[in-house]
Structures are given as C-alpha cells and as structure tokens.
C-alpha cells in the first residue's frame, strides 16, 4: 500500500544547517577532496561505482573471443549456403571483421589498461559492421542477424541498461536503413528489367522483405536490449552494493576505537548520498546513558563531535516508532511545516501509517528539507538511530532505505564488537586499577606507615638534640602527608566506574574515611529522592568531592566538614562546607567570576566545566567556605 503521510505542526523557525558539497574519497577515507556537485546520467551512486581494471580487461577478452568465434561461424555458414551472398564484398567485409577481432585480442594481451575511448570505438564498430555486411546479402533472412544480438549483449556486459537500450535502438535503426536500401535497389532493378521487356511492373522479387517480419525483429531487438540491460543493471547494482558493504565493513577497526570507526563509517555514508550532516544517537540499556554525535565534512576531514543531548535528548532522537527506517521531506510554510514520509518496518514492508512524532521532535532541533532515519538495536544492551540530513537518494527512496537497513544489519554487529571491546577494555582497566590499589595498599602504603611509626617511636623514646628532634618531626609530617596523598590517589583510581547507583555510597564512604584519617568531624547528607544522572557526571562529581576534601585537609585547618547532595528546583547540587580558614576573598562568587579573576580551585573548576555544570564558591575568611556544584537533572533521565 502506498504511504503518503502529511503532518502539520507549529514550529519555531530554526536556521537550516549549511549544505556541504559532495566529497569523494581516494586513499584514506578520512581525507576528502572537494568536488562541485554535478548531475550524473543516472543519479544512483551504484551506477557510478568504479569497475576494477582487471575486470574490464577480462570482459573485453571474452567479448573479443566471442566476436571472432561468431564471425568464423558466420563465414562457415556462408560457405555452406552461398545463396545468402550476392556480392564478393560480403566475403571481404567478413574477412576484415575477423581480422579486426583478432587484432583486438592481440592488443588486449599486450596492453595492461583498456581505455574507455577504445571500448567505445570497438562497440560502435560492432554496431556498424553487421549492417555493412547485410547490405551484400541476398535477402532479409540471413545469419548475420545474430551480430546484432552480440552487440546488444556486449553493451550489457560493458555498461548497463541505458547503454544497452541505446545500442538496441541503434541496431533497429540500422536494420531499417539497410532494408530501405535493399528495397530501393531491388525496386529500381525490377522496374528497369520489366521496362526493357515491356511488361507490367511487378514486385514479386521483393516479397522476401516482409514488413511484418522486420517489425517483429525490431521489437525482438528492443525487448532483448531491455531484458539484457536490466539484468546487467541489477548485476551492477548488486556488485556495487556488495563492494560498498565490504568497503564500509573494512573501515571497522578494533585498533582505531569506537569514535574513529563511527567517523569513518558515517563519512562514507555522507559521500555516498552527498548528505550535509550525519547524526548518530545511541542509548545504553544498563545506564540509560544517551550519547549523540554529529559529523559533517569540514576542511577535508571528517571528525565525529560528541554533543550534549540536553534534557529532551530522548524525545528528540529516540522517540519510539514502528518505522525501522524512514525518509521524510519537509515543506516549510508561513506558520507550519508539512511532512511527506515513507516508512518501512523491520521486515522491509512499507507502512500505511505510523506515529511520526520523532520526526516532529527532531525537526524542532535540526531543520532539514530531506531526512533519512535508520534505527538499529543490538540486543537489549544498545539501541539508537542514524540520521542523514539532506541526502540525495535518486529515484527510489524505498530501495535506498532497504539498502541502508541491510547495511546496518551487516556492518552494525562489527561496530557493536568494537563497542563491546571498548567496554571490555574499560572493565579490564578497572580491574587493573583495583589490583594496583591493592598492591599500593599492601606494599608502599604499609611501608610508609611503618616508617612513619618508627620515626615517631624514635623521636619519642630517644633523647636527641633539639635540632635533630625538630628534623625528625618534620620527616614524620612528610611521611604522614605522603600517606594521605597515596590514599587520595587510590581513591581516585577507584572512582572511575561511579554511576548514579554507586555515587551516594561512594560519597558516604569517602566522608567517613576522611573523618577517620584526619580526625575532622565530617557528615554526609543526601536527599530522599532517587539520584538519576549520567555516569560521566557522577564520575566527575565523585572526583570533585575528593578534590574538595583534599583541599580542606591541606589548607583549611577546619574542625567540621559537611558534604551534601540535594535536589532543588530541578537541579542536583553537591556542596562541601567547612569552618576553616576560607579562601583569600569574601563573598559569593560565580563560575564566570572565578574564571575571569583566576580565583578558586582550578582543578574543581575544570571538572565542573567538563560536565557543563555551575560552580559557586562562598568564602568567609577565618570562618570557613562553601563549594557548591549544580548540574541540571534530566527530565527524561529514565530514557537517556
């Protein structure tokens, strides 16, 4: 059933992204050479796919062998039935044709490359020679008609549907021209003979030139051209699709990593369809983390840039839909946008109607005229969509959607393997860090603590001179400081895999450990609401809390510390407050003011900037300080 869905909705005008000219790869797919947009004879990229030179030479060798074999067979047939030839010129032309075919075979064996101009000249000669030879035959029914079929098959082998149909039409035109020449010559001879003998004009000797037979032969040649051309076009399309899938599959590399692999694959899709931009959105089922990457051909390099999906990221990119793939054209009006949509389900069947709310949500954030959306899912762990903006699909959008679905089914598992390898490496790294933490705890840390205790015993039990006792005390303080630094380092190594479920427990353990190690009264307070934040944000919040506690221990001289993780006004706020010396300024200072004046802890400021949060420091010199980090709570956190 034909599906044409027209959807109207109000939308705030959004600036359309600039269209990028097509770039075609040569060598490394990360390097792109700018070419002006131009129209091909047929718009599908499959018809412009290059054919390997070895295959071209192989085709030409087979055609040359068939050409000579057919000519020799025709010469034998003429020798058996000499009534088909009415002039000695037919033998001469046939001999020249055989000689030409033999010369082509010799040239193909001696040369390493076959030029397109050479193939075109040979093909035109194959079209003309049969017509010339047939002029010397005695009737319309002759064995040289097979030469026309050969040249049509040769066009199908060399090119595709367009060239094969043109060849068949040229053969039909020459066949009619030849028949007209023979008919005109026969009519003049008959008229002259009957005039000399004073007999009525008759045309009995022209009965062999039957218009009905000529018409059927013409139709036969055209139909054969269409069939052979269609088969050649299908074979060429399948070969191009196979080669393109193999090329894209070859871009997937375990060594380059997931981001670079996605850049390579999406860049190839941009080249194929001359799209201006590609967007990939993926969501992990375990953490509900939504990742969005954009790619456009810029300065001859295709690089994937990860962007913040925002609080409405799930609604924008991953709204549920029955369509596994879709093609949409948007028509902008004065106050509304209209969509014309083609959608296919997972089985490749065209949908009569479906909910296209994800297109409306996407259009609010990304303006487009044409859009292709391909969904992918790898088991229960990972799902997402690929968006191609402003693609050129050629004549059949359904065919291109089915090709892209097949591409995702074949290339997707390889990319998923890269994703799994990345996760495996991260887990292996976490295990290695845990092992290193244990080694540090059981080795270097215990040794430093032992040395510090021995120095303390030596200082207290032995009567030493005052300068030496002061030096021993200084060494003891250095050892104690190094023990604390080493413990801080161990805790930072443990916090790599902190997510929303683990963050509260991690902060509580960090505060309790801080109290045990420093003797400073410490307390952790958290809201009763469920914490829902992306894993990268949780990881940075854990490190910010660690860094703030280290600063309190080193610089503040505080007696009390309060760490809070609260949700207020749609934001999660992490605050570390102490009653120590405070910062060398008074008042409440925002993140922008801290950056402009180079005040405050630089490491904490940089980490807050990474998660796009807001840092505020309130300082009361001599009475303490408060470091507050706020991050927005995603509205659709449950989905991304």
DSSP 23-57: EEE-SSTTBEEE------SS--GGGGPPPPHHHHH
> Position of tokens 């609260």?
566
Spacing of C-alpha 543 from chain mean position: 35
What's the token pair of residue 334? 């004065």
Structural domains in the chain plus CATH codes: 5-34+255-423 (3.30.450), 45-244 (no CATH), 498-640 (3.30.565.10)
A 10 A CB-CB count for 149 gives 18
User: Secondary structure of 196-215 in the HEC alphabet?
Assistant: HCCCCCCCHHHCCCCHHHHH
Q: What is the pLDDT of residue 495?
A: 57
User: Secondary structure of 520-573 in the HEC alphabet?
Assistant: CEEEEEECCCCCCCCHHHHHHHHHHHHHHHHHHHHHHCCCEEEEEEEEECCEEE
What's the token pair of residue 63? 């055609």
A 10 A CB-CB count for 301 gives 11
Please tell me what DSSP assigns to residue 1.
Answer: -
What's the token pair of residue 186? 């026969």
Count how many Cα atoms sit within 13 Å of the Cα of residue 134 in the half-sphere of its side chain: 27
Cβ(148)–Cβ(131) under 8 Å? no
Helices 116-134, 161-196: inter-axial angle, 10-degree rounding: 20
CA distance 507 to 373: 42
What's the token pair of residue 418? 């890269």
Q: What is the pLDDT of residue 14?
A: 35
Q: What is the pLDDT of residue 607?
A: 84
A 10 A CB-CB count for 585 gives 15
Cα distances from 615 to residues 296, 471, 576, 634, in angstroms, run 33, 41, 12, 18
Q: What is the pLDDT of residue 40?
A: 37
Please tell me what DSSP assigns to residue 254.
Answer: T
Ranges of residues in the chain whose predicted pLDDT is under 70:
1-50, 81-88, 90, 134-143, 181-210, 286-287, 298-302, 311, 333-337, 395, 430, 433, 437, 441-442, 445, 462-466, 469, 487-488, 490-497, 634-640
Q: What is the pLDDT of residue 564?
A: 92
Cα distances from 72 to residues 23, 97, 105, 348, 639, in angstroms, run 49, 10, 15, 51, 74
Instruction: Give the pairing of strands 560-568 and 521-526.
Output: parallel
Cα distances from 174 to residues 133, 168, 179, 430, in angstroms, run 12, 10, 8, 78
What's the token pair of residue 336? 């509304």
Q: What is the pLDDT of residue 328?
A: 87
Encode pLDDT of 448-475 as tens digits.
777 777 777 777 776 666 677 677 777 8
Strand partners, 525: 564
CA distance 145 to 174: 12
């Amino acid at each position: 059933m034909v599906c044409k869905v027209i959807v109207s909705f109000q939308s705030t005008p959004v600036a359309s992204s600039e269209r990028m000219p097509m770039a075609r790869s040569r060598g490394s797919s990360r390097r792109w050479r700018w070419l002006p947009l131009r129209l091909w004879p047929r718009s599908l990229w499959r018809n412009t796919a290059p054919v390997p030179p070895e295959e071209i030479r192989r085709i030409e060798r087979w055609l040359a062998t068939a050409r000579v074999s057919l000519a020799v067979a025709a010469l034998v047939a003429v020798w058996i039935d000499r009534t088909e030839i009415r002039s000695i010129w037919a033998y001469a032309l046939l001999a020249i044709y055989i000689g030409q075919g033999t010369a082509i075979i010799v040239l193909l064996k001696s040369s390493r490359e076959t030029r397109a101009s050479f193939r075109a000249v040979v093909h035109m000669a194959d079209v003309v020679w049969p017509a010339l030879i047939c002029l010397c035959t005695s009737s319309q029914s002759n064995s040289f008609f097979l030469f026309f079929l050969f040249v049509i098959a040769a066009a199908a082998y060399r090119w595709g549907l367009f060239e094969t149909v043109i060849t068949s039409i040229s053969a039909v035109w020459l066949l009619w021209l030849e028949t007209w020449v023979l008919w005109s010559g026969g009519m003049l001879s008959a008229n002259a003979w009957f005039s000399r003998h004073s007999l009525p004009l008759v045309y009995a000797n022209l009965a062999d030139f039957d218009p009905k037979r000529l018409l059927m032969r013409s139709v036969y040649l055209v139909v054969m051209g269409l069939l052979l051309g269609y088969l050649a076009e299908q074979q060429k399309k399948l070969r191009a699709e196979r080669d393109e899938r193999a090329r894209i599959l070859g871009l997937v590399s375990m060594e380059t990593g997931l981001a670079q692999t996605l850049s390579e694959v999406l860049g190839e899709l941009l080249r194929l369809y001359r799209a201006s931009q590609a967007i990939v959105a993926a969501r992990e089922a375990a953490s509900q983390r939504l990742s969005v990457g954009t790619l456009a051909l810029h300065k001859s390099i295709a690089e994937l840039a990860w962007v913040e999906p925002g609080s409405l990221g799930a609604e924008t990119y991953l709204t549920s839909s029955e369509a596994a793939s879709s093609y949409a054209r948007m028509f902008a009006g004065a106050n509304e946008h209209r969509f014309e949509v083609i959608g296919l389900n997972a089985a490749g069947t065209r949908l009569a109607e479906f909910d296209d709310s994800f297109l409306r949500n996407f259009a609010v954030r990304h303006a487009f005229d044409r859009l292709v959306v391909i969904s992918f899912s790898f088991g229960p762990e990972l799902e997402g969509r690929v968006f191609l903006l402003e693609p050129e699909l050629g004549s059949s959008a359904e065919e291109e959607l089915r090709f892209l679905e097949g591409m995702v089914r074949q290339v997707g598992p390889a990319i998923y393997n890269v994703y799994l390898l990345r996760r495996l490496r991260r887990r292996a790294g976490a295990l290695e860090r845990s092992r290193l933490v244990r080694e540090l705890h059981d080795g270097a840390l215990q040794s430093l603590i032992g040395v510090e205790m021995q120095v303390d015993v030596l200082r207290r039990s032995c009567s030493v001179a005052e300068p030496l006792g002061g030096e021993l005390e200084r060494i003891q303080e250095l050892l104690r400081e190094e023990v604390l630094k080493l413990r801080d380092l161990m805790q930072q190594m443990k916090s790599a895999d902190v997510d929303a479920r683990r963050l509260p427990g991690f902060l509580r353990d960090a505060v309790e450990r801080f109290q045990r190690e420093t003797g400073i009264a410490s307390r952790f307070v958290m809201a009763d609401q469920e914490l829902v934040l992306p894993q990268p944000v949780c990881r940075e919040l854990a490190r910010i809390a660690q860094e703030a506690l280290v600063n309190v221990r080193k610089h503040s001289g505080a007696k009390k510390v309060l760490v809070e993780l609260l949700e207020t006004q749609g934001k999660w706020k992490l605050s570390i407050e102490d009653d120590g010396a405070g910062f060398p300024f008074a008042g409440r200072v925002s993140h922008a003011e801290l950056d402009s004046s180079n005040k405050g802890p630089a490491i904490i400021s940089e980490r807050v900037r990474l998660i796009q949060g807001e840092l505020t420091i309130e300082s009361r010199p001599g009475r303490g300080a408060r470091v507050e980090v706020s991050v927005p709570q995603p509205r659709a956190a449950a989905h991304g």
